[in-house]
Chains A and B, each alone.
Chain A
Amino acid sequence: MNRASLVESAYIASAVLFIIGLKMLASARTAKRGNLVSAVAMLIAIVATLWVRGIVSYPLILAGLAIGGAIGAVAARRVEMTAMPQMVAVLNGFGGLASLLVGWAEYHRALHVLPGSAALSVPTMVSTYLAVLIGGVTFTGSLVAYAKLAEKIDGRPILFRGQKPINAALLAASLLILVVGSLAPGSTYGLFLLAVGLSFVLGILAVIPIGGADMPVVISLLNSYSGLAACAAGFIIANTVLIVAGCLVGASGLILTQIMCKAMNRSLSNVLFSGFGAAKGPQAGEGEKREVHPISAEDAYYLLESARSVVVVPGYGMAVAQAQHVVRELGDLLESKGCEVKYAIHPVAGRMPGHMNVLLAEANVSYDKLVEPGDVNPLMAAVDVVLVIGANDVVNPAAKEDPSSPIFGMPVIHADEAKACIVLKRSMASGFAGIENPLFFKENTRMLFGDAKATVAALVSQLKETE
């Protein structure tokens, strides 16, 4: 076998392993091995590429791999589980930018080093522009998502007059550049650079109108984009393993996006364009003055202490307060008193898909105790106490009762149907969606104000004292 076909065979093996790895990643029993299989696939693809004819700059390649590898390894080791959504956003952005830079490098090469070659054919140019546009949007979009998730900027939607027409015009301009630039590749370096700039602006503008609570959708979608950008890069250098792996990521990102949208009963376009949750001000003041029933930690303790079954509903507030470990401790103590404890996880609770599952796993909560809303809701009437920790919109009964509510129709956890409901909350500020939550005013709801971690720790120490 000659060198080229050896490399091609390695790429086929790599593509097959990516497929197997991803398949295994989607099932609980095999997920960890699946990740390993996909890492091996990546290694094969990298090593094979080093054999490609014409690759000579090995010292530079080794330096790049060493620098990137060190940064990636340190970041992956240091990052807190609560900061995982930001981390994924940044990594995603890097992948997108890498695809953009590859597009640029290959464009420059074709134009200045190998002019007149097949590299300037229309299909290759279309792929180049797609890699640049998708990669650029992925990069800046992920950075904005990162800034929102890390609370470097306000997580609320940022809206301005004419936002939609401006975005539409920019998108149209990008597509126009793609067409013009692809048909006349030789004379258009300025146009190419304009496409790079436009993609950056588009990425920013596309994500700023999306609120913090919708971030699980945004991250999934950007994930999909980064795959498609890699796919476009694969067309530029005519490499099948890039196309296959990029497509797999594009598809899996789309599926996650769809799952997230379904969990909120909203369409993707509604998530992306509606500026959901931007409405501020008192939506509550419908004339009637309603009151909440505050409760002290001590009274909450008495409620919990006599409960036979407790359902914990965690939300983003638990992540912010880093309360997952004390929550697990509380659960263990209640169980040791013969109480049945379950954790009801809404698919969009938190800031990335599966966010709460990761945090509770970190705190060592066994995953057979984690239940989905559809499984726990029918049994809710028999539950003694629902403990809502830093969750808001996912327990909002307006979603099933009030057709005028913006979240009407969203599948929620029916916390209001339990015998009692204790809501741990920092203050009466509304959730990220900015919607009033009638659960807080219900007759059987008690509000326990304060920092979630401190409050749960107080409950834990009370329970310990009585042991």
Chain B
Amino acid sequence: MGTLLFFVFVLSIFLGLELISKVPSQLHSPLMSGSNAISGITIVAALVSTGLDDGSRLTTLLGFLALVLATVNVVGGYLVTDRMLAMFKKKDSKEAPR
């Protein structure tokens, strides 16, 4: 399992570097905040830490804190990115009829 995960890791790094090698500067901010929201994927780990009832208060507490923080990251990140992109979009639709 360990080596398999490492295999996934290495491939994903290369995939990431290939995927977005060229970004127009207009999209630098949304790309940053959008990928910031994706980094909130740690919410999955937080769910596991919170949800497994192992009788330890500390793991539950730590997991819960992680869950709240990761949720702020995810929800805030996606909404802020959407707000930014909506501003870019607006003029697109205004220009279209011209």
A→B interface (CB under 8 Å): 18-19, 21-23, 25-28, 31-32, 34-36, 38-39, 42, 45-46, 49-50, 52, 54-58, 60-61, 63-65, 67-69, 71-73, 75-77, 79, 81, 84, 87-88, 91-92, 94-95, 97-99, 101-102, 104-106, 108-109, 112-114, 121, 123, 219-220, 223, 226-227, 229-231, 233-256, 259, 345, 347, 352-355, 357-358, 361-362, 364, 366-367, 370, 372
| B1, B35, B53, B81, most chain A CB atoms within 10 A | B35
Verify A28–B24 contact, CB threshold 8 A: yes
Verify A242–B75 contact, CB threshold 8 A: no
Q: How far is the CB of B92 from chain A (nearest CB, A)?
A: 9
Contacts of A254 in B (CB 8 A): 17
Contacts of B70 in A (CB 8 A): 68, 94-95, 98
Contacts of A97 in B (CB 8 A): 66, 69
Determine the distance from Cα of A235 to Cα of B6 in the docked complex, in whole angstroms: 8
Would you give the 0/1 interface string for B47-85, flagging 1 where the beta carbon is closer than 8 Å to chain A? Answer: 111111111101110111111111111111111111111
Verify A353–B51 contact, CB threshold 8 A: no
Verify A244–B51 contact, CB threshold 8 A: no
| B31, B68, B84, most chain A CB atoms within 10 A | B31
Verify A223–B35 contact, CB threshold 8 A: yes
Determine the distance from Cα of A136 to Cα of B55 in the docked complex, in whole angstroms: 26
Count chain B residues whose beta carbon lies closer than 8 angstroms to a beta carbon of A: 82
10 A-B pairs whose Cβ atoms sit less than 8 Å apart in the complex: A25-B27, A25-B31, A31-B31, A64-B64, A64-B68, A95-B70, A239-B45, A252-B20, A352-B29, A367-B26
Q: Answer yes or no: B97 CB below 8 A from chain A CBs.
A: no
A-B contact count (CB 8 A): 388
Would you give the 0/1 interface string for B1-30, flagging 1 where the beta carbon is closer than 8 Å to chain A? Answer: 110010011001101110111111111111
Contacts of B65 in A (CB 8 A): 98, 101
Q: How far is the CB of B47 from chain A (nearest CB, A)?
A: 5
Q: From B51, B60, B78, give the contact of A39 (CB < 8 A).
A: B78
Determine the distance from Cα of A35 to Cα of B88 in the docked complex, in whole angstroms: 13
Contacts of B21 in A (CB 8 A): 255
Determine the distance from Cα of A358 to Cα of B60 in the docked complex, in whole angstroms: 40
Residue of A nearest to B63 (CB): A105
Contacts of A234 in B (CB 8 A): 5, 41, 45
> With contacts A22-B16, A52-B47 known, what are 13 further pairs, Cβ within 8 A?
A25-B31, A42-B41, A54-B52, A60-B50, A68-B74, A79-B80, A94-B70, A95-B70, A101-B65, A102-B49, A246-B39, A251-B16, A254-B17
Verify B78–A42 contact, CB threshold 8 A: yes
Contacts of A75 in B (CB 8 A): 72, 76
The verdict on A57 contacting B60 (CB below 8 Å), with A38-B38, A113-B54, A364-B91 known, is yes
Q: How far is the CB of B11 from chain A (nearest CB, A)?
A: 8
Determine the distance from Cα of A18 to Cα of B38 in the docked complex, in whole angstroms: 8
Contacts of B87 in A (CB 8 A): 81, 358, 361-362, 364
Would you give the 0/1 interface string for B32-45, flagging 1 where the beta carbon is closer than 8 Å to chain A? Answer: 11111111111111
Verify B62–A105 contact, CB threshold 8 A: yes
Verify A256–B68 contact, CB threshold 8 A: no
B→A interface (CB under 8 Å): 1-2, 5, 8-9, 12-13, 15-17, 19-56, 58-60, 62-91, 95
Verify B50–A244 contact, CB threshold 8 A: no
Verify A31–B88 contact, CB threshold 8 A: yes
Contacts of A354 in B (CB 8 A): 25-32
The verdict on A94 contacting B72 (CB below 8 Å), with A248-B38, A357-B26 known, is yes
Verify A244–B12 contact, CB threshold 8 A: yes
Residue of B nearest to A252 (CB): B35
| A91, A244, A364, most chain B CB atoms within 10 A | A91
Verify A26–B22 contact, CB threshold 8 A: yes
Verify A247–B77 contact, CB threshold 8 A: no
Q: From B9, B20, B60, give the contact of A22 (CB < 8 A).
A: B20
Verify A372–B52 contact, CB threshold 8 A: no
Verify A101–B66 contact, CB threshold 8 A: yes
Q: From B2, B45, B52, B62, give the contact of A233 (CB < 8 A).
A: B45
Q: From A23, A252, A361, give the contact of B84 (CB < 8 A).
A: A361
Determine the distance from Cα of A212 to Cα of B37 in the docked complex, in whole angstroms: 24
Contacts of B80 in A (CB 8 A): 76, 79, 84, 87-88, 91
